[in-house]
Homo-oligomer: A and B are copies of this chain.
Amino acid sequence: MVVSTLRERSGLGSDGLAAVLGQLEARFGQRFSRGLEIRRQHANTTTWLPNEPADAVVYAASTDEVAEIVSLCARYGVPVIPFGTGTSLEGHVNAPFGGISLDLSQMNRIVAVHPEDLDCTVEAGVTRKQLNEYIRDQGLFFPIDPGADASLGGMAATRASGTNAVRYGTMRDNVINLTAVMADGTILKTASRAKKSSAGYDLTRLLIGSEGTLGVITEVTLRLQGIPEAIAAGICAFPTVEDACNATILTIQSGIPVARIELMDALMIRATNQFANLDMPETPHLFLEFHGSTASVAEQSEAFGAIARDFGGGDFTWATRPEDRSRLWQARHDSYFAAKGLRVGGASIATDVCVPISRLAECVAETVADIAESGLIAPIVGHVGDGNFHVQPLVDLNDAEEIERVEHFIGRLTERAIAMEGTCTGEHGVGQGKRKYLEKEHGAGVGIMRTIKAALDPLGIMNPGKILPDL
């Protein structure tokens, strides 16, 4: 059994687990659970990967408690799987080797807001919506928006980004420092609150995107933005995905500081029309948002309009009032659920790749053709200003042949992106689902990653079975 393999590797007997479970139960009482339903919820994969529950779930309330739990697990060689909101998409919270699901959702305090420095410090379980509601009255917002109301610790751990990244960057760019509990229970604060530093190795960025495999992130200090004076949103139909992509490319190249520029392909528009009872023309659309002063937003909108017209873009629907903007964007935000309506009873598998923007039109067009050839139902949405797009195949999880067809499709999509100097995942992370592509993308880099992992987590207890492929 794989679980005992891990425990054997750490030189500890399988009764280590029993010791950990007993001590956690005695220590955490009501904040400890072995119930199957709770364990299953904590292995939520939102994808085809099988649900692999941990042996128990424990709810931590502070960094010190996380350190206590990790130290205990380290003593007995028991895996630790950090859990935020369970909205990750590649099996990040599964427990293929058993162990303890470490739930951080009760660590939801906003520790400090420094409006004068445009930063704040929050515990890992604070969600992005909770933070944004808290700081709105101070004229501030946190721009990273992956769609789901994810925890900010989880977003750091998976290097999340989303619709606003084209303007504001990803979690990589918006975390000033973080606190993490390392595999031996050490509490690490990665950096000061200075906006920049050249003082030593970038431990902040090492932990961002490490998916709990190097340490458990318990607190993050984030860059905030002032809410712009003006925001304008708009949608624009295009004859083909190439036209929509080419308009995007030229927009970025022209230096228009667009805040969001999102693609929905014709199939996704059809799904959205059905879901929300709309009547958008069933061709590819771009959804846009501009932030700035009133004058700057008008200037940006006009500059984009000229580009769109060159690529056959239709009339715009522009909106500046918050309620009108929300209505426009609702269609984009609903796309995940709208897509599910394309196939009653079908499960939705979200996958993503990212390519240099010059290759975007080609990559999307080839993918659309591949979907058709594969006989899949798979709409496309994308944060196309970054060259990042998602394909969302709808599958019958009871049909092994179809699942295999989707797996092969994702394999081709990933190889296509890598061949175009892109990456196997722009923002979802590796988890379990993308491990097999890591060698292809990183070559010798995988060996370096293994060396770092072995040095910082010699027992292999931190979220094992994620990121690094099996040897």
Contacts and interface: CB of A to CB of B under 8 A. Distances in A.
- Output the residue of A118, A197, A206 with the most chain B CB within 10 A: A197
Interface in A166-225: 169-170, 172-173, 182, 186-203, 205-206, 208-210, 214, 225
A200 B467 contact: yes
A200 B161 contact: no
A404 interface: no
Contact of A209 (B200, B255, B299, B354): B200
Nearest to A228: B255
Nearest to A292: B296
B198 A425 contact: yes
Interface stretch (A102-110, A246-254, A321-329, A369-377): A246-254
Kindly report how many copies of this chain are found in the complex they form together.
Answer: 2
Nearest to A202: B205
Interface stretch (A18-26, A46-54, A58-66, A440-448): A440-448
Contacts of A254: 226
A335 interface: no
Given A114-B358, A172-B205, A299-B293, A434 B199 contact: yes
A159 interface: yes
A116 B358 contact: yes
A220 to B, nearest CB: 15
Contacts of A253: 115-116, 118, 226
A206 B201 contact: yes
A191 to B, nearest CB: 7
A330 to B, nearest CB: 26
- Indicate the size class of the contact surface on chain A: 35 or more
A394 interface: no
A456 B445 contact: no
A451 interface: yes
Contact of A205 (B158, B206, B228, B418): B206
A159 B197 CA distance: 8
Contacts of A424: 199
B199 A423 contact: yes
Contacts of A255: 225-226, 228
Contact of A355 (B194, B438, B443): B194
Contact of A198 (B114, B249, B426, B443): B426
A155 B422 CA distance: 25
Contact of A356 (B119, B182, B358): B119
A449 to B, nearest CB: 5
Interface of A: 114-119, 158-161, 165, 169-170, 172-173, 182, 186-203, 205-206, 208-210, 214, 225-226, 228, 249, 252-255, 293, 295-296, 299, 354-358, 386-388, 417-418, 421-430, 434, 437-438, 441-449, 451-452, 454-456, 467-468
29 contacts: A114-B358, A117-B356, A159-B198, A159-B202, A169-B173, A182-B448, A186-B448, A192-B421, A193-B421, A194-B354, A194-B388, A194-B417, A196-B427, A197-B354, A199-B424, A199-B429, A199-B430, A200-B209, A200-B430, A200-B446, A200-B467, A202-B206, A205-B205, A206-B206, A226-B253, A296-B299, A451-B455, A452-B455, A452-B456
Given A114-B356, A116-B249, 4 more contacts: A119-B356, A189-B444, A199-B437, A201-B214
Closest 5 CB pairs of A and B: A205-B205, A455-B455, A197-B423, A193-B421, A116-B358
